[in-house]
Amino acid sequence: MNSVKMLVRAIRGPILLIALGSLFAVDYFGPYPFSRTWPILLIVAGALWLLERIAPESEPGPGSPAGGAA
């Protein structure tokens, strides 16, 4: 019963988490402080939201081979 929309919604959290961790890591070890890079989080969140909006409602996802079988 998984739709692409549900997949996108489910991976939104982990991707934001990775982005958040990466920005802190760049703050500590890279050249850009978090105070300058935080808008990336907004962009990522917005992009995922957008992806969720435009994803088809019920078709099986192309990334899941066993897609509609469940």
Partner 1 sequence: MRRRGSLVGPLLVILIGVWFLISSLRPDLPLFDLAARFWPFVLIGWGVLRFAEILLWAAQGRTLPRAGVSHGEWTLVVFICLMGSFLYVVNRHRPWQQWGFITGSRVEIFGHPYDFTIPEQTAPAPKAARILIENLRGGVRIVGADAQEVKVSGRKTIRSLQESDANNAHKQTSVDISTQGDQVVVRTNQDRVTGDERISTDLEMTVPRTASVEIRGRSGDLDISDLNGSVEVSSDNASVRLQNIASSVRLDLRKSELVRAGSVKGDFVLQSGRGRDVELDTIGGEVTIDGSYSGDLQFRDCAKQLKFQSPQTDLKVEKLPGQIHLDLGSLSGSNLVGPIRLRSNRSRDVQLEQFTQALELSLDRGDITLRPAQMPLAKIDARTRSGQIDLALPESAKFELKATTSRGDLNNEYGAALRTDYENGRRHEAGGSILGSVGQGPSITVTTDRGTVTVRKDTGGPPPPPRPPKPPKAPGVTSIEIERH
Instruction: List contacts with partner 1 (CB under 8 A).
Output: 1-2, 6-7, 9-25, 27-28, 61, 63-67, 69-70
CA distance 40 to 5: 22
Instruction: Please report where in the chains the tokens 């962009």 appear, as a residue.
Output: 43
Smallest separation, CB 69 to partner 1 (Å): 5
Smallest separation, CB 54 to partner 1 (Å): 18
Q: Which is nearer to partner 1, 21 or 56 (CB)?
A: 21
Residue 69 in contact with residue 40, Cβ under 8 Å?
Answer: no
Q: Which is nearer to partner 1, 13 or 46 (CB)?
A: 13
